[in-house]
Structure 1
């Protein structure tokens, strides 16, 4: 926790509150007068700071060798042509000069407690409990001559030499550490050092991870594969990995709830402890599944790496992380489980990975080149947006301030010009809501507005013809479109509030879209939603329409809005500017939102939640229709139900029961067909035709399948599953340009003798194809199905049968 105070100076505007001298003075007075620290114990070290595109001078405040504060004077911004260079990047001075201090809360606690490490000071109960669970005392009891507190105290003082830069050798650092301890009169062998510090590092890291994880979940975050949810998932998985490495047999949920009880007991959390436990139990299940799948990935990726190798190639680790979601530490752990027991992670690799990702993001940002839709708007006055004054106004008169031709790829069909008016009722696309369409007319010209966009402070109408500057026009929006968009936008707010009340406080908007046909609302949730969940949310949403008559729309100063409503206000994204528009639906939902919403909820009519889909793990997408779209959906469903009844020849009330009966009969028939297909395979490979051969104790099957990949996979499984019958199976199909599959019975003489990938690559050229796989299974496709028999003949020749 970095306690801070900020100062925002603007010298060019005459606002200069205070700068370096005063800031250091205030810090010194607090340390000496408030905390009673001897001034002789304080050291000030100047060291430039940079990060996030900004930089500036900084002062590190060190007491007794411990850095307690950093005072940053941010007055530079990144610029390729800048005249100041810091750590390889160039900067220029910026108008805003910011003081951003960081006083380490936990470090002050450590300094006051005087414990060997910071962890005993801030997590005493958790550290003690983990030591007990891990049997740590049993390790240290092997060497009674070692004073652990003394060793840890000296190690804390020496930590400054452990400067783990990218590429630094870990063994060398460890040796340096042991040598420095020896100089201080502490004799410890490398074996003892590793035996003590390795488990201690995990014991200390677990509560640190739990502290962040519990706070994130307590604030309503849900683990997922994107953004902040990804960080929560990585924290959970690293905690689980370290727990397993310590041999602790306690669930992640139990570890977390213990941490909440002893370290966060007084914190007011959105999420309940039961909710945290439920989320973490699911995360642990997903972790176990990830391990199962990850082991297979590791075995495949390391198939050509010697079992005694000490390191995985960097590019392979990058690929495992970026393509398969297996973090470097987890890759090493999985490698150990899979037989590569000597594998270690190069010191500094994780930092290098972070630098690589940061550089990729930075380069990608530089490459973004947004082509301007239209130029020449800089000197025009801002457009007066009438839709905020009255969302139901659909006609207006205005003057043309600008008309110009448009350019770009992202243009509606038929659009040729951009028109800016002094005032307009047309809502520009934004906040997930589609734009208004309509017309702009004079006595002699009629323009269709095909899209509306906002560029800076100007609302731009994309039209199919031009007008002249100074023309007075009559604008008319497509009211049916606007009404439907308002139905959907207001409904998204209602459904979001209902989801939060039904599912829990962790529900947070992760995205939204409001079109004419439907609306989508993405919410954070740790589990898939059932139809019952959707029905409960839908029921509450429609109750809100009946019970809450009016919405409250207000314009608030950002600070006042933050103070009144908190940061949940910005679920739809944080708007720019000092003032924000707030939509409040009684005590049901409140959000900062610049869209168009109904004044009275009854004008929506009704809301239907059609279905939910998984955007990604941890994010559910609700598909919503409201107003006329809800009526159209209900009518379409009724038509579909009647048509289904006609197909079955039953009354619509009997459709579910009839469909269930038909489905049951179909499943029985499908099962019987699969049994017959399996019997055919057995008959064809039992020696009854030329599809099956036997060579040196291995059954070799080469045959054509009538089906596609799914059918071939079933046949392969049937042929190679029984370890008592070692088999090499080569199957082919003429479907889709030609397909080939090669597999061997795993853990048998067939898999020892034959490599599926090598066989496939030898025979697949005959169907003009390619493919790959692993030693026990390979598949590929081609574009020349007529060459399938040649592939089979090549296989027979290769196998000498």
Structure 2
């Protein structure tokens, strides 16, 4: 067989099935679209489920894909073996009620033997033990030697998950040779050794299972095949594992160059090289598909992979951040099949670099504390309390703690850790809850059975003589609500916009025969029933009454201005920052517009100015804003931006700002940009790793923002005693200079005070085995003063150990600083160990270097006791 690169294999496969009238589809994103059962796409079939179930009509009855996949159940084994990985690509060809076994088997054999030219005598086929039809097809139609076909049981060759579509499968194996076998006389297909490698699975979905052992033939059977691209490359390239496949090996070689080592020289280093190589492949593709680091869900998977890779970089001796550098090779190796990685290169690299850098700031502290905890263990189990402290204080993942402990043949009390995590979540949940929220949830649940409400608010903000179809009050259905009662009203149709898509719900009034109902908010159920929250201001409302529904026009118009501004902002950000910018959330109200977007660094003043100018230019140009409903495929042809991960129907609403932006959106908008008046950014900041937030105002909100700024400037000028706002810069600079001089004077006085204290303490120092020992406490002394004192002692040059404490009575805490001179260290003194033992007595902890260290205590009443114990602690160390 001919050696073939992984990228060429992918193209050969997809081109082959295109020649068999299959529609080639791009890989679906790793983030499942409209499927909450999966965190990440883990097979080629996963994104096809909607086609197999009939929920969505497939774009063609024959489809072929190369699907990006992430699987994490074996993450702890990645690196420890050469066969486990988290990222892989799955080749597949699918038939949705079109061809079946005959074609699937014939084409699989043709591809293997004619296209990539695998030796026929080394290919083996397994079939389900009762599938005589498959046996006949393979032997009589395809021409496979019957001696190379193996019948296996239901566990191996029958695809079934509970109830629903299922069927037998047939797998193709490659015989790698006797040298990979186990030597057993029964060694063959199905053996656990490395000789026979399964590389392609053909699933014949032909039955409907009731879960009770009864199988009904399907009217339209389907074909679902899956072949691991990396596994196929291993076979064709004649290598033992995925890390030796050409594209993966190139990534590993990049890591090796950075670390200055070679793969294969040291088993321990090889583990780290494999971990980094696999995890950087996974994370590059995950970030490219919109996954952001977080502490839950798929974001946590990303963070965990990055942190695991970063730690193994440190184990290889790599100093500082390096993962973003390796991203270049990952992107280079995959640029042809996944050009979006090239487009998003800067964003991917910046996100990974920032995440690694952030982890680097905490990992040293966490590792240091973990090492102290391990040293103090009586047995081999770390307490759940300590594992939780590492997580809660240093962001140290429990998985990393467990991995480090495992390397030392130790463990952690996971049950206790998870219980503490549960308690923390309960506290957070309780803090978020309110009685209003509980009542709201009950009412919404009650309304879920109602049908969708027709929305007329795009055309008009008023509707007359519309019937009240249902009411809820006090969490129960109501026929009548009277003056002063809070209630929820449902109408047969409504001009009120229900909160969705980041746009807040409308407010307004409903009036009828002798009553007024004030609407304070509008929401809708999952089924689309719109419900109006509010209060009966006067009179009495009954189910069946006719009302005049009037939206608060002034408020709605302000909301519309801000929503259109959000569309202008996204387009401007993509123009100024790059096309990696995507919406990550928004809130549009009458007061302001809040827009979250993917970007990894703070916007510079110049970037903010450019964004504002772009938008205000569009406003002043008075561009038309049009809306239209159309099939989603037509909207995509127009280049309409969609919210990542959002599920859209076949017909979508498109908002088009002429020659500026086209987006899928169900919200309300102005019909011309000039109606925004002006646009002003009032804040920009970070809300999560890789996600920035801009808050902005339009129209009257801009004038109010200017008035607020002028008020602040006037008050600041008065405080600075400036002659006016124009004189503020000079006075501010002068005040800053005065403060700087005072800081220098305070520092000089602190140093003088430290010298005075130091001289007195040195004269009265105790002596232990020829070492001077000083222990003293000072009320109100801050960390800087303690460090100055330690510097004073160290400069003395004598054999000395000193611990000084600064008591903060207002906080009820104490800080300890310890210093050991060079001669004292030579005799066994260690500042980190000494200060830790002293702090323990005061209910604290800490540690550090042998020459100087810091610690904290929580019980100021024990400070004297802690310092009195100092001589004994030092004596114990020197005796060792």
Q: Give the alignment's TM-score, normalised by structure 2.
A: 0.66
Name the structure 2 match of 1:184.
none
SS in 2 for 1:582: strand
User: Is 2:643 the partner of 1:570?
Assistant: yes
Whether the 8 Å CA contact 1:509–1:523 is kept in 2: the answer is yes
Name the structure 1 match of 2:105.
28
Name the structure 1 match of 2:735.
662
Name the structure 2 match of 1:176.
none
Name the structure 2 match of 1:779.
856
Whether the 8 Å CA contact 1:452–1:462 is kept in 2: the answer is yes
Whether the 8 Å CA contact 1:441–1:475 is kept in 2: the answer is yes
1:593–1:99 distance in 2 versus 1, CA, 3 Å: farther
Q: Aligned-pair distance for 1:449?
A: 0.9
Q: Residues 34-113 of structure 1: matches in 2 within 5 Å?
A: 34-36=111-113, 41-44=124-127, 45-46=156-157, 59=169, 61-64=171-174, 65-69=197-201, 71=203, 101-113=225-237
Q: Residues 343-358 of structure 1: matches in 2 within 5 Å?
A: 343=408
Equivalent in 791, 803, 816 of residue 728 of structure 1: 803
Q: Aligned-pair distance for 1:386?
A: 1.1
User: Is 2:588 the partner of 1:588?
Assistant: no
1:755–1:253 distance in 2 versus 1, CA, 3 Å: closer
Distance 1:206 1:585 in 2: 45
Distance 2:608 2:256 in 1: 46
User: Is 2:602 the partner of 1:528?
Assistant: yes
Whether the 8 Å CA contact 1:107–1:118 is kept in 2: the answer is yes
Q: Aligned-pair distance for 1:59?
A: 3.8
Q: Aligned-pair distance for 1:396?
A: 4.0
Distance 1:467 1:667 in 2: 68
Q: Residues 706-745 of structure 1: matches in 2 within 5 Å?
A: 706=780, 712-721=782-791, 723=794, 726-736=801-811, 738-745=812-819
SS in 1 for 2:457: helix
Name the structure 2 match of 1:610.
682
1:256–1:349 distance in 2 versus 1, CA, 3 Å: farther
1:507–1:8 distance in 2 versus 1, CA, 3 Å: closer
Distance 2:105 2:557 in 1: 62
Name the structure 1 match of 2:878.
none
Q: Aligned-pair distance for 1:282?
A: 7.5
1:559–1:492 distance in 2 versus 1, CA, 3 Å: same
User: Is 2:371 the partner of 1:302?
Assistant: yes
Name the structure 2 match of 1:405.
473
Distance 2:371 2:164 in 1: 41
Deviation string, structure 1 residues 735-786 (Cα, Å, up to 9, x no partner): 14x33233322785664597445544545xxxxxx6544585443446xxxx
Deviation string, structure 1 residues 703-759 (Cα, Å, up to 9, x no partner): 3434xxxx52222322335655531112223214x3323332278566459744554
Equivalent in 461, 466, 478 of residue 552 of structure 2: 478
Name the structure 1 match of 2:518.
448
Whether the 8 Å CA contact 1:613–1:620 is kept in 2: the answer is yes
SS in 1 for 2:782: helix
Whether the 8 Å CA contact 2:448–2:529 is kept in 1: the answer is no
Name the structure 1 match of 2:534.
463
Equivalent in 601, 617, 626 of residue 673 of structure 2: 601
1:342–1:489 distance in 2 versus 1, CA, 3 Å: closer
Name the structure 2 match of 1:679.
752
Whether the 8 Å CA contact 1:398–1:422 is kept in 2: the answer is yes
- Aligned-residue Cα RMSD (Å) equals 5.0
Whether the 8 Å CA contact 2:365–2:394 is kept in 1: the answer is no
1:539–1:386 distance in 2 versus 1, CA, 3 Å: same
Whether the 8 Å CA contact 2:623–2:658 is kept in 1: the answer is no
Equivalent in 537, 547, 565 of residue 621 of structure 2: 547
Deviation string, structure 1 residues 551-588 (Cα, Å, up to 9, x no partner): 2322233444456547x5124x5145443323232353
SS in 2 for 1:499: helix
1:637–1:55 distance in 2 versus 1, CA, 3 Å: farther
Q: Bigger shift: 576-585 or 474-483? A: 576-585
1:235–1:305 distance in 2 versus 1, CA, 3 Å: closer
Name the structure 2 match of 1:502.
576
Which structure 2 residue ranges, 5 or more long, are not aligned?
A: 1-26, 28-42, 62-94, 128-155, 175-196, 214-219, 477-483, 873-880
Name the structure 2 match of 1:126.
250
Whether the 8 Å CA contact 2:467–2:491 is kept in 1: the answer is yes
User: Is 2:505 the partner of 1:432?
Assistant: no
Whether the 8 Å CA contact 1:719–1:727 is kept in 2: the answer is no
Q: Residues 49-448 of structure 1: matches in 2 within 5 Å?
A: 59=169, 61-64=171-174, 65-69=197-201, 71=203, 101-123=225-247, 126=250, 129-130=253-254, 133=257, 199=269, 206-216=276-286, 235-236=305-306, 238-242=308-312, 251-265=322-336, 267-269=338-340, 271-272=342-343, 275=346, 280=349, 283-284=352-353, 287=356, 290-291=359-360, 293-306=362-375, 313=382, 320=390, 324-326=394-396, 343=408, 371-373=441-443, 377=447, 380-390=450-460, 393-394=461-462, 396-407=464-475, 416-448=486-518
Whether the 8 Å CA contact 1:402–1:419 is kept in 2: the answer is yes
Q: Aligned-pair distance for 1:461?
A: 0.9
Whether the 8 Å CA contact 1:221–1:506 is kept in 2: the answer is no
Name the structure 2 match of 1:631.
703
Whether the 8 Å CA contact 1:48–1:57 is kept in 2: the answer is yes
SS in 1 for 2:509: strand
Q: Bigger shift: 17-26 or 488-497? A: 17-26
Which structure 1 residue ranges, 5 or more long, are not aligned?
A: 86-95, 141-194, 409-413, 764-769, 783-787
SS in 1 for 2:374: coil
Q: Bigger shift: 286-295 or 505-514? A: 286-295
Q: How many residues in Structure 1 have an aligned counterpart in Structure 2? A: 689
Distance 2:96 2:351 in 1: 50
Deviation string, structure 1 residues 346-402 (Cα, Å, up to 9, x no partner): 9x999xx99x999x99xx99xx99942156646655311111334xx2454411111
Q: Aligned-pair distance for 1:675?
A: 2.8
1:621–1:98 distance in 2 versus 1, CA, 3 Å: farther
Distance 1:689 1:622 in 2: 57
Q: Bigger shift: 467-476 or 307-316? A: 307-316
SS in 2 for 1:636: helix
SS in 2 for 1:529: coil
Whether the 8 Å CA contact 2:775–2:804 is kept in 1: the answer is yes
Name the structure 1 match of 2:19.
none
Distance 2:201 2:611 in 1: 48
Whether the 8 Å CA contact 1:332–1:343 is kept in 2: the answer is no
Distance 1:329 1:375 in 2: 38
Deviation string, structure 1 residues 527-554 (Cα, Å, up to 9, x no partner): 2222222222222121222236122322
Q: Aligned-pair distance for 1:247?
A: 6.4
Whether the 8 Å CA contact 2:623–2:657 is kept in 1: the answer is no
Whether the 8 Å CA contact 2:350–2:600 is kept in 1: the answer is no
Deviation string, structure 1 residues 133-179 (Cα, Å, up to 9, x no partner): 48999787xxxxxxxxxxxxxxxxxxxxxxxxxxxxxxxxxxxxxxx
Whether the 8 Å CA contact 1:399–1:472 is kept in 2: the answer is yes
Distance 2:322 2:545 in 1: 72
Whether the 8 Å CA contact 1:580–1:592 is kept in 2: the answer is yes
